[in-house]
Amino acid sequence: MIQEEKNIEIKTDTKTEFSVSFDFKKYAWKQFKKNRVAYFALKILILLVGIAIISPVIATDQPWYCKYKGVSMFPAFSVYNQCQITDKSTGIEETIQYDIADWKHLDAENIIFAPISYSSNKTDYDNAGYVSPFAKQLFKNKEGNETNIPLKFRHWLGTGKAGEDVFSGLVNGTRISLSIGLLSMSIASILGIVLGAMAGYFGDNKLKTSRGSFWTFIVGLVFAYYYGFSVRSYFISDAFSISGFEILVQLLISLLIFTIVVAIFYWLGKFVGKIPFLKQQVNIPVDSIVSRLIEIIISMPLLILIISISAIAKEKSMVNLMIIIGLTAWTGIARLTRAEFLKVSNMEYIQAAKSLGINEFRIIFKHALPNAFAPALVAIAFGVASAILIESSLSFLGIGVPPSTVTWGSLLNLGREQFSAWWLLAFPGFAIFLTVTVYNLLGEGLRDAFDPKLKK
């Protein structure tokens, strides 16, 4: 029954005049919406993503608007980090460095602060030493006297040992947690879906090629590794001590070179495969190779593996962590995609596509994948949850993330030193718990929505 439904959906995809009233995506969405808990979780997720996007603006010590000596500034939104101000009466030039200026004590004519007027990586000396959200908080006013803190500068969720604002840390931590989950899972999804699809579709004896092209391809891989990574190894390792962006750029250049070299050798292989002796067909056991690879990765203790890899990285950075998690977390996605492709690859519409002589890779990614994508999506949702958990446990241990970055895990770690500071334990922990639960609920909801067997 459901097979037919899926087949029909493919026809609608090919944009013929023929249209049917049934659409599997719409059907799944309707099923998902019926699941009230999962739908609620989706709403919370959207809220969290919203917070993550606007977090640098709503939780920062740089004011939204400031008028100082007749000059209007928008530090929180500005791409520049400083502003030259000339005092009209005295002619003295003054430079205001946005990120280090003491805005709260600035003698400004007009100033509007962000709702959370603290940055996560800065400290408030007046309220250092674990100040409770309900306790009396201090503020040094312009005359230099300690007074009760004004409402707009209150630490609503308390402070840490050095005076870190917990609320700001929470809000900015959302961005870090979600982006780690998103980016690492993007890497994992690409790897998992491609490998799983190939393994399931080709199995152990469906991918045949000539001896010549096979060996040319293998040699091509060695060359591609050599030109992509071996020759450029110092560029890449130097990038690790510059910035996360630089790492990404260098890795992308390497990957590009790798792909180009592989493509060249793939093309060469077509000619080599025409030589009589090298013409003989060989089998490529794709399934066995991928299954072994999965077995190897799942038999490594993930946390210890990630810890050891991040221990040898010269510079701690978020990008490192994302890449490591992405490279190790694809196995679940690959297994589910593989299982789905095993089913799909024998269906009539795939047979039909094959008999029409359509390129195999086109069949895999254009025709089969849309129907096999659902289980992968479920695995991705659970994967994001575990990636966030891994990141927060690592920063809880103080491993893997740079010490200047404030994350939920590192906030929780601050609280471990002082159990009486319950706000340092309760709020960040709850944030982690909430996000992980939301993704787990989403995963469950998606699984139920995509699996018509469960429908009563």
**Residues interacting with other proteins, by CB under 8 A?**
222-223, 225-227, 230-231, 234, 292, 295-296, 298-305, 307-309, 311-312, 314, 385, 389, 392-393, 396-397, 399, 412, 415-416, 419-420, 422, 425-426, 429, 432-433, 436-437, 440-441
> In the structure, how many helices (H) and strands (E) does the chain have?
16, 9
**Shortest Cβ distance from residue 300 to other proteins (Å)?**
5
**Shortest Cβ distance from residue 414 to other proteins (Å)?**
11
C-alpha span between 129 and 72 (Å, rounded): 36
Q: Which is nearer to other proteins, 145 or 299 (by Cβ)?
A: 299
* Residue 192 near residue 449 (C-beta atoms within 8 A): no
**Shortest Cβ distance from residue 48 to other proteins (Å)?**
15
**Shortest Cβ distance from residue 454 to other proteins (Å)?**
11
Phi, psi of 359 (to 5 degrees): -55, 135
Q: Which is nearer to other proteins, 151 or 312 (by Cβ)?
A: 312
Q: Which is nearer to other proteins, 71 or 397 (by Cβ)?
A: 397
Kindly tell me the burial class for residue 268, based on how many C-beta atoms sit within 10 Å of its own C-beta (0-12, 13-18, 19 or more): middle
**Shortest Cβ distance from residue 3 to other proteins (Å)?**
22
Q: Give the pair of three-digit tokens for residue 122.
A: 């800065």
Q: Which is nearer to other proteins, 170 or 368 (by Cβ)?
A: 170
**Shortest Cβ distance from residue 168 to other proteins (Å)?**
20
C-alpha span between 343 and 358 (Å, rounded): 19
C-alpha span between 62 and 82 (Å, rounded): 12
Which residue is it, tokens 């391809």? 217
Q: Give the pair of three-digit tokens for residue 94.
A: 């003054």
Q: Which is nearer to other proteins, 115 or 129 (by Cβ)?
A: 129
Q: Which is nearer to other proteins, 209 or 237 (by Cβ)?
A: 237
Beta bridge partners of 83: 96
Q: Which is nearer to other proteins, 75 or 220 (by Cβ)?
A: 220
Q: Which is nearer to other proteins, 73 or 389 (by Cβ)?
A: 389
Give the alpha-carbon dihedral of 3, 9, 14, 18, to 10 degrees: 110
Phi, psi of 4 (to 5 degrees): -60, -40
**Shortest Cβ distance from residue 51 to other proteins (Å)?**
19
**Shortest Cβ distance from residue 374 to other proteins (Å)?**
19
* Residue 353 near residue 11 (C-beta atoms within 8 A): no
* Residue 373 near residue 13 (C-beta atoms within 8 A): no
**Shortest Cβ distance from residue 56 to other proteins (Å)?**
26
* Residue 286 near residue 203 (C-beta atoms within 8 A): yes
Can you give the three-state secondary structure of 50-100, one letter per residue? HHHHHHHHHECCCCCEEEECCEEECCCCCCCCEEEEECCCCCCEEEEECCC
Three-class DSSP category at 108: coil
Q: Which is nearer to other proteins, 106 or 231 (by Cβ)?
A: 231
* Residue 251 near residue 178 (C-beta atoms within 8 A): no
**Shortest Cβ distance from residue 147 to other proteins (Å)?**
29
CB within 8 A of 392, min separation 6: which ones? 177, 407, 408, 409, 412, 432
Pick from 426, 436, 378: nearest CA to 167? 426
Q: Which is nearer to other proteins, 259 or 437 (by Cβ)?
A: 437
Q: Which is nearer to other proteins, 142 or 453 (by Cβ)?
A: 453
**Shortest Cβ distance from residue 304 to other proteins (Å)?**
5
* Residue 170 near residue 119 (C-beta atoms within 8 A): no
